[in-house]
């Protein structure tokens, strides 16, 4: 299938991830006295990825995330020549999702971007007040584990057809750990989208949510490829 069509699938999928995941945080997390909370938001992100993995996994691979695309490239699963159209589509899809969410959210009296709009942050803008170093370490480690789950569950030796479930639940778990630290990114496109609308502090801290996920993704790709790839001479024990 032409890369343009696959990039279009990535646009739609990343739109859904940002609109569904960030939308649950902005619209439903504390609605009105009680809401879905961290647990609900974590599941919302996991469900967006799981549903899109079933919907477009056979079309584009359902990356929805520049760090995933780059990590898969470092793991030998995705050609570097197609990174740019994928990443552009993912970022634009995320921005479109945030734009639709903004139109909806701003229709409520009292709405303010000062509440964060699900943007990622550290220090004073961390939900739990965690430092920049804590945020950096959390984003690298959690992205590493997310990519490791993706690489393992999509390995040809893994049980067929179950990868979307493992990946969706993996993202749910990662959010449960990371939301208090940085509002959890592990995805530069997801971070860029709300930051554009919030501006100011969100844009000034956005660098961390590009650098850390990409580092984590590359490390996971190289690690899985060097230790567990089926092409290695040493066979895994059975």
Per-residue pLDDT tens for 70-104? Answer: 999 999 999 999 999 999 999 999 999 999 999 99
CA distances from 223 to 68, 72, 196, 206, 217 (A): 14, 11, 33, 26, 10
Percent of the chain with pLDDT over 70: 97
Average pLDDT score over the chain: 94
- The continuous run of DSSP H or E covering 139 comes out as helix 132-153
Structure tokens at 186: 């592990």
pLDDT at residue number 33: 76
Query: CB under 8 Å to 55, separation ≥6 — which residues?
Result: 13, 62
pLDDT at residue number 238: 40
By CB atoms closer than 10 A (0-12, 13-18, 19+), residue 50 is buried
pLDDT of 60 strictly over 50: yes
Closest CA to 218 of 85, 92, 69, 90: 69
Q: Are 94 and 17 in contact (CB under 8 A)?
A: yes
Please give the CATH architecture assigned to the domain spanning 3-228: Up-down Bundle (1.20)
Average pLDDT over residues 104-122: 94
pLDDT at residue number 68: 98
d(CA 176, CA 198): 24
Give the domain ranges of the chain: 3-228
pLDDT in tens, 195-235: 999 999 999 999 999 999 999 999 999 999 999 987 654 54
DSSP 114: G
Give residue 124's pLDDT band: very low, low, confident or very high (50, 70, 90).
very high
Q: Are 74 and 218 in contact (CB under 8 A)?
A: yes
Q: Are 62 and 230 in contact (CB under 8 A)?
A: no
Average pLDDT over residues 164-192: 97
Give residue 32's pLDDT band: very low, low, confident or very high (50, 70, 90).
confident
């Amino acid at each position: 299938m032409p890369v343009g069509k696959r990039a279009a699938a990535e646009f739609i999928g990343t739109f859904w991830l940002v609109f569904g995941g960030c939308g649950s945080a902005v619209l439903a997390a504390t609605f009105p006295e009680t809401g879905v909370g961290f647990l609900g938001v974590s599941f919302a992100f996991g469900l967006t990825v799981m549903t899109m993995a079933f919907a477009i996994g056979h079309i584009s691979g359902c990356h929805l995330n520049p760090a995933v695309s780059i990590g898969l490239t470092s793991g030998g699963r995705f050609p570097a020549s197609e990174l740019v159209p994928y990443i552009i589509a993912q970022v634009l899809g995320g921005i479109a999702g945030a734009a639709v969410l903004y139109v909806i959210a701003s229709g409520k009296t009292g709405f303010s971007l000062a509440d964060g709009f699900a943007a990622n942050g550290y220090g004073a803008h961390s939900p739990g007040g965690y430092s920049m170093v804590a945020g950096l370490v959390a984003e690298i480690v959690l992205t590493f584990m997310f990519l490791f789950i993706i690489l393992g569950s999509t390995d040809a030796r893994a049980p067929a057809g179950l990868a979307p479930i493992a990946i969706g639940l993996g993202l749910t778990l990662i959010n449960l750990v990371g939301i208090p630290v940085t509002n959890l990114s592990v995805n530069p496109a997801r971070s860029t989208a709300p930051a554009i609308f919030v501006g100011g502090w969100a844009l000034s801290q956005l660098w961390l949510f590009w650098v850390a996920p990409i580092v984590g993704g590359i490390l996971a790709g190289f690690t899985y490829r060097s230790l567990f790839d089926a092409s290695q001479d040493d066979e895994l024990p059975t």
